Amino acid sequence: MRQKFVVGNWKMHTTAVEAGQLAKAVVDGVGVEDRIAVVICPPFPYLAHVGEIVKGSRIALGAQNLFPEKDGAFTGEVSPGMLVDVGCKYVILGHSERRHKLGESDAFINQKVAVALGAGLDVILCVGETLDQRKANPTEALLDRHLTRGLAGISRHLRFSTAAASIPKTPLLSSASPAWMAPSSVAPVCMPINFSRSVGPQSLIHHLTATPRRGARS
Q: Where are the domains of the chain?
A: 4-209
CA distance 67 to 59: 24
Contact of 118 with 69, CB cutoff 8 Å? no
Contact of 69 with 114, CB cutoff 8 Å? no
Contact of 141 with 131, CB cutoff 8 Å? no
**What b/e sequence results for 153-167 when a residue is b if at least 16 CB atoms lie within 10 Å of its CB, and e otherwise?**
ebeeeeeebbbbeeb
4-209 — its CATH code?
3.20.20.70
155 CB contacts (<8 Å, ≥6 apart)?
none
Per-residue pLDDT of the chain (218 residues; tens, 9 = 90+): 667 888 999 999 999 999 999 999 999 999 988 888 899 999 999 999 999 999 999 999 999 999 999 999 999 999 999 999 999 999 999 998 899 899 999 999 999 999 999 999 999 988 877 777 777 777 778 888 888 888 888 875 555 444 444 433 322 222 234 444 444 333 333 333 333 344 455 555 555 555 544 444 33
Q: What is the pTM of this model?
A: 0.75
